[in-house]
Amino acid sequence: MTIKKNKNRNIFLNLEKVIAAILVILIHCHLPGNIGGILTAIARSGVAFFFLISGYFTFGIHDTNANTVIKKRIKKIFIILIWSLIIYFLWESLLRYKGGGLPKMVDWWTKEVFTFHTLYKSIILDYDPLVGHLWFLFALIKSYILFWIIFKVNKNVMKQICVVTGILLFIIQFYFTLSIYRNGWFYGITFLLLGYLIAENKEIIISKMKNSYLFLIFVIGIIFTLFEFSIFGEQQIYIGNIFISVGAFILTLRVQPKEGKLVNYLNHIGEDLSMYMYIIHWAIIDVFSQIGRELNIFTESWYSWLTFILVSILSIIASEILFRFFSSFKRERRI
């Protein structure tokens, strides 16, 4: 199978999507100790990056095609979300059946999944009732809807809204539960608008910002994240994460790596496999968690690190298989 590259996209952006996907895996592997906590704090930048790049590639729409473009993107994400929910509903049901039989599985259905409260939280607050990480897909859909409303009503207020929602995001996380702020209303729209604004001012930013300045912003972001982590402990987002994700993001717009087999394949992973990696890695972590508990090594520090490495590799392999399967399926439908 020949891997085709999209010539209109910066290869480095796709390479950064690979890193972002692996950072998300790192977060969910819960690496132990201070080192694990520090790496997790820095890795929070990965989720922000996915919203940034979604906003960046939204730039270019105009009044005549905004409805079509946004509707197409929402439909695509919605289909991915529905399939993901179905798969993880079956997966989590199986795990509960294995762990406690039919009563435990049905109890989970009636008390945590099929309730009006869960439906409300999923629609309004982008809550994932099954595994947790699918909140990103809920939030991305809502972010696109909010973006479309802002674009249609008054696109000149995007900067102001981005600043306000960003400030509220950082304040609210200290006083409210996770579901109140980790959603499209605050987290998603803030970084999606930021990505759009970066694209809108791309030429000015690139002409005025040297690589050394951008690298300095990236380093400051890491230092600031470490400082925040030392004071506040574990958070969903740190101010330093903005500097890390924005500094790295803009730097990728200025740099184009030399093409080669490795770079081309990493480009393929970022462009074609990163969404699959995001969705499937949770199930692979579950498998290693089950193995760890069976062997009584789940709490061992070395096992957490081994899990992270193996889950990262297996997520790429599983995503490649899924990508090729669905690509083949699409080709057969066209014939």
Task: Give the tens place of pLDDT for each residue, 226-267.
Answer: 999 999 998 889 999 999 999 999 988 887 667 788 888 999
Residue position matching structure tokens 């099954």:
130
Distance CA 197, CA 87 (A): 36
Mean pLDDT score, 142-156: 95
- The amino acid that residue 221 corresponds to is G
What is the pLDDT confidence band of residue 3, given thresholds at 50, 70 and 90?
A: very low
Confidence of residue 102 (pLDDT cuts 50, 70, 90): very high
**For residues 162 and 196, what is the distance between their CA atoms, to the nearest angstrom?**
10
Is the pLDDT reported for residue 293 higher than 80? yes
Task: Kindly report the number of other CB atoms within 10 A of residue 8's CB atom.
Answer: 6
In this predicted model, what pLDDT tens digit does every residue of 37-78 receive, in sequence order?
Answer: 999 999 999 999 999 999 999 988 887 888 899 999 999 999
Rg (CA), the chain: 20
Q: Which pLDDT band holds residue 334 (cuts at 50, 70, 90)?
A: low
Range scoring the smallest mean pLDDT among 7-11, 20-24, 119-123: 7-11
Q: Which residues, other chains included, contact 228 with Cβ-Cβ below 8 Å and sequence gap of 6+?
A: 41, 235, 238, 239, 240
Checking if the pLDDT of 305 tops 60, the result is: yes
